Chains A and B, each alone.
Chain A
């Protein structure tokens, strides 16, 4: 397994992460040995082995998906954690990069 600079940049883009020039170089150098190490798993025969033997959570154990009221302190705290707001609304950058008109 050999990751080149292009792979690192593609991974950073997929991960929504910016990297400095220095950091890209270090990622290239450090990701490779890790992938090499975990590559040992490919040598293990897993024919017929399931990914999990755990029993799934029965639907009756799931909490009902219902709106509930929150106390004012919780609401205030959640609002104060917004990075940017307009009144009680969360302000975010536009989703479309070139909105029409």
Chain B
């Protein structure tokens, strides 16, 4: 029999349905694992010892009376701390929200509650999701379970580690420029960013509203499909949600007839370490062996997507974080005047990286610079979207590494923000163009996980999951 901590959503649901174990037993096993490991890894900001067991009891009663709500009922999951769960603290990794308690459920929270999921707690993250290492959390960094001296990636580092170290069955993250996929790659798990608009952002603390998307972080692609199936859908509270229809994954074993684009611009030159190149080129060979056709393609503006991202994102950040001013909620630092109260509350409440991005955005939006930065970045975004649309006329999916390197050492890139930003080079394109993208583990380099990324056309979320599933099965 499988150890309780080895379960996927699917196998846990099967075990619960068969009566092999209860949700309470399963939940207790994960809480125990968290107690044992979290001192060292710091994946969680809050653990819901009491309410998790209440949820688990309720789930067991439902199942006993034949009223199970389906595959997620009784399954213990973790939630990134920028997603609201009513009555629980939501800090988004920031001092300014250290004592903030969510007043309502995010739409994804509501959907998971309706599906019967058990919330184990809230996971650590870079402050307001700004970072690629989880070192920018005001509450201390999360460690990579494969090597505690290395970062887990970010910003959804806590969720990635919780999944990778068996401290939950699955987790939710959010992805603005790679924040689900990059930590998934660094920790050796599956991370899926859905098409923009497929998952409601209501109750997700906004970082960059035109780019943010909530998505699953799981042990298997099938689990990612199951979790995505539970959280997607149109929401009257988020006008950017679109009806993408039901998630019709077939989870095939072969990839005959699937054309995979291999963009020259991403694969050429020295854009990745030799170890990452070896593993991801092998991943391409696996795709081919599964029957997929590999096509070298031209994807212009690949590098420019990063520059577009680092203009548009800070602009939206500067607007979205204006609400954290110490007035209606969060930390207030009294000073002589109103304006000094704002400055002090934000100066002491927000970390340096958050302040850096607010200032960058303020600069790019200020008079005299707006056209050169913000407007120009928006126009280049249109060119990038067109380039992807054109590429997808010829291919079904686009394949790249998820990251240029494996997990780096804690502290290595802290003093050089630009070096950290360059980490996002392969992932930001999908956000800038609003496309579905997944990172799946494709091997080890120097004992550390490497991620393989597949990107699909807008709303082709199922095709991305299907191809990733076939790939994952071939790798195991």
Stretch of B20-28, B247-255, B359-367 on the interface side: B359-367
The distance in angstroms between the C-alpha atoms of A33 and B422, with both chains bound, is 12
Indicate whether A34 sits within 8 Å of B332 (C-beta atoms), given known contacts A15-B362, A53-B382.
no
Chain B residue nearest to A76 (CB atoms) is B103
Contact with B along A53-65 (1 / 0, CB 8 A): 1000100011100
Decide if B18 is an interface residue (CB 8 Å cutoff). Answer: no
Decide if B6 is an interface residue (CB 8 Å cutoff). Answer: no
Q: Are B355 and A50 in contact (CB under 8 A)?
A: no
Decide if B347 is an interface residue (CB 8 Å cutoff). Answer: yes
Indicate whether A33 sits within 8 Å of B418 (C-beta atoms), given known contacts A78-B103, A84-B332, A90-B328.
yes
Residue numbers in A under 8 Å from B341 (CB-CB) = 93
Q: Are B359 and A38 in contact (CB under 8 A)?
A: no
The distance in angstroms between the C-alpha atoms of A31 and B356, with both chains bound, is 7
Q: Are B338 and A27 in contact (CB under 8 A)?
A: no
Residue numbers in A under 8 Å from B418 (CB-CB) = 30, 33-34, 37
Q: Are B346 and A31 in contact (CB under 8 A)?
A: no
Q: How far is the CB of A4 from chain B (nearest CB, A)?
A: 13
Chain A residue nearest to B350 (CB atoms) is A17
Decide if A2 is an interface residue (CB 8 Å cutoff). Answer: no
Indicate whether A19 sits within 8 Å of B378 (C-beta atoms), given known contacts A14-B366, A61-B239.
no
Q: Are A74 and B358 in contact (CB under 8 A)?
A: no
Decide if A68 is an interface residue (CB 8 Å cutoff). Answer: no
Q: Are A83 and B329 in contact (CB under 8 A)?
A: yes
Using a Cβ–Cβ cut-off of 8 Å, how many residues does chain B contribute to the interface with A?
65
Q: Are A77 and B103 in contact (CB under 8 A)?
A: yes
Decide if B310 is an interface residue (CB 8 Å cutoff). Answer: yes
Q: Are A30 and B366 in contact (CB under 8 A)?
A: no
Decide if A100 is an interface residue (CB 8 Å cutoff). Answer: no
The distance in angstroms between the C-alpha atoms of A37 and B162, with both chains bound, is 35
Residue numbers in B under 8 Å from A26 (CB-CB) = 352
Q: Are A81 and B356 in contact (CB under 8 A)?
A: no
Q: How far is the CB of A86 from chain B (nearest CB, A)?
A: 14
The distance in angstroms between the C-alpha atoms of A62 and B240, with both chains bound, is 11
Residue numbers in B under 8 Å from A35 (CB-CB) = 360, 363
Q: Are A34 and B337 in contact (CB under 8 A)?
A: no
Stretch of B369-377, B401-409, B463-471 on the interface side: B369-377
Q: Are A11 and B362 in contact (CB under 8 A)?
A: yes
Q: Are A41 and B356 in contact (CB under 8 A)?
A: no
Chain A residue nearest to B416 (CB atoms) is A30
Residue numbers in A under 8 Å from B330 (CB-CB) = 81, 83
Q: Are B101 and A77 in contact (CB under 8 A)?
A: yes
Q: Are A77 and B307 in contact (CB under 8 A)?
A: no
Q: Are B239 and A40 in contact (CB under 8 A)?
A: no
The distance in angstroms between the C-alpha atoms of A93 and B240, with both chains bound, is 36
Indicate whether A81 sits within 8 Å of B329 (C-beta atoms), given known contacts A31-B359, A37-B418, A97-B338.
yes
Q: How far is the CB of A74 from chain B (nearest CB, A)?
A: 5
Q: Are B372 and A42 in contact (CB under 8 A)?
A: yes
Q: Are B382 and A15 in contact (CB under 8 A)?
A: no
Residue numbers in A under 8 Å from B278 (CB-CB) = none
Instruction: Among A30, A49, A63, point to the contact of B417 (Cβ < 8 A).
Output: A30
Decide if A69 is an interface residue (CB 8 Å cutoff). Answer: no
Q: Are A17 and B343 in contact (CB under 8 A)?
A: yes
Chain B residue nearest to A49 (CB atoms) is B379
Q: Are A17 and B346 in contact (CB under 8 A)?
A: yes
| 8 Å CB interface, B221-240 against A | 236-237, 239-240
Q: Are B359 and A27 in contact (CB under 8 A)?
A: yes
Residue numbers in B under 8 Å from A34 (CB-CB) = 310, 360, 417-418, 421
Instruction: Among A63, A80, A93, A94, point to the contact of B236 (Cβ < 8 A).
Output: A63
The distance in angstroms between the C-alpha atoms of A78 and B337, with both chains bound, is 25
Q: Are A37 and B307 in contact (CB under 8 A)?
A: yes
Decide if B392 is an interface residue (CB 8 Å cutoff). Answer: no
Indicate whether A49 sits within 8 Å of B382 (C-beta atoms), given known contacts A15-B355, A41-B311, A74-B103.
yes
Residue numbers in B under 8 Å from A16 (CB-CB) = 322, 325, 339, 342-343, 346
Q: How far is the CB of A15 from chain B (nearest CB, A)?
A: 5
Q: Are A18 and B382 in contact (CB under 8 A)?
A: no
| 8 Å CB interface, B165-222 against A | none
Instruction: Among A8, A37, A95, point to the contact of B338 (Cβ < 8 A).
Output: A95
Chain A residue nearest to B300 (CB atoms) is A44
A-B residue pairs in contact (CB < 8 Å), sample of 22: A11-B362, A15-B355, A16-B325, A16-B342, A17-B347, A18-B344, A30-B417, A31-B359, A31-B360, A37-B310, A40-B303, A40-B307, A41-B304, A46-B379, A46-B382, A63-B239, A77-B103, A78-B103, A81-B329, A82-B329, A90-B328, A92-B327
